[in-house]
């Protein structure tokens, strides 16, 4: 627990404007979409523990907003932190790409773009990954499949 306290302090130092909370597993840092790239760069180049391994990049549709979630690990200390940003505008959800920092992000961002329709600014090859170009974005909560009309019981 003490280690996590250090981590939250570190996160607060890196992003003074961000909101730091200790989640049930990892310390979590929420920043605005404009500050995301800057914060990610600082985390990647952090001297004490460089978060050089992008564990996971994904998005969640909360209906009122999209949240892009980054799980970062430091290969030196094996500590994990969660970085997240909220995108309230559903139709023009856009955030800066981090594929320049972690090349692994390139494909995870393409997946998020494919499944959620979130655009990543300055991504050099933002094409859809699984679905055809004219298909909707299936992981959005308001997605309706017109071809396979299967009603799920709730």
Partner 1 sequence: MSKDVVTNIILRDDEDYIINMGPQHPSTHGVLRLEVCLNGETVKYVVPHIGYIHRGIEKMCEYDTYKQIIHLTDRMDYLSAHMNNEAVSLLVENALGIEVPERVKYIRAALNELNRIASHHLWWSAFGMDLGALTTFFYGLRDREKILDIFDESFGSRLLHSFVTPGGLMHDVHPNFRKNIMEFVKYFRKKLPEYKKLLTDNIIFQNRTKGIGVMTKETAIAFGVTGPSGRGSGFSCDVRKIAPYGIYDQLEFNEVLYTNGDSFDRYMVRMDEMVESMNLLEQIVDKMPEGTEFTAKMKPIVKLPEGEYFQRVETARGELDVFVVSDGKKHPYRMRFRSPNFSNMFTLNILGRGLKIADLVAISGSLDLVIPDIDR
Give the binding site for partner 1 (CB under 8 A): 23-26, 52-56, 58, 60-61, 69, 71, 75, 78, 80, 100-104, 106-108, 111, 115, 124-125, 129-131, 138-139, 152
Kindly give the residue spans of alpha helices, DSSP state H, lying in 15-148. 36-44, 105-116
Nearer to partner 1, 16 or 150 (CB): 150
- The whole-angstrom separation of Cα 121 and Cα 101 is 14
Shortest CB 19 distance to partner 1, Å: 15
CB 42 within 8 A of CB 15: yes
Nearer to partner 1, 16 or 25 (CB): 25
Shortest CB 69 distance to partner 1, Å: 7
Shortest CB 148 distance to partner 1, Å: 10
Exposed / middle / buried, residue 61 (Cβ in 10 Å: 0-12, 13-18, 19+): buried
């Amino acid at each position: 627990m003490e280690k996590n306290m250090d981590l939250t302090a570190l996160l607060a130092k890196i992003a003074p404007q961000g909101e730091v909370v200790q989640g049930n597993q990892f310390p979590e840092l929420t920043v605005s979409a404009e500050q995301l790239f800057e914060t990610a760069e600082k985390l990647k180049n952090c001297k004490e523990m460089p978060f050089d391994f992008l564990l996971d990049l994904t998005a969640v549709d909360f209906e009122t907003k999209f949240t892009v979630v980054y799980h970062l690990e430091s290969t030196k200390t094996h500590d994990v932190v969660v970085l997240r940003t909220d995108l309230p505008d559903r139709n023009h959800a856009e955030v800066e790409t981090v594929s320049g920092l972690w090349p692994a992000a390139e494909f995870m961002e393409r997946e998020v773009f494919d499944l959620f329709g979130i655009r990543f600014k300055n991504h050099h090859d933002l094409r859809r990954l699984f679905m055809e170009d004219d298909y909707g974005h299936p992981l959005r909560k308001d997605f309706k499949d017109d071809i396979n009309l299967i009603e799920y019981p709730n």
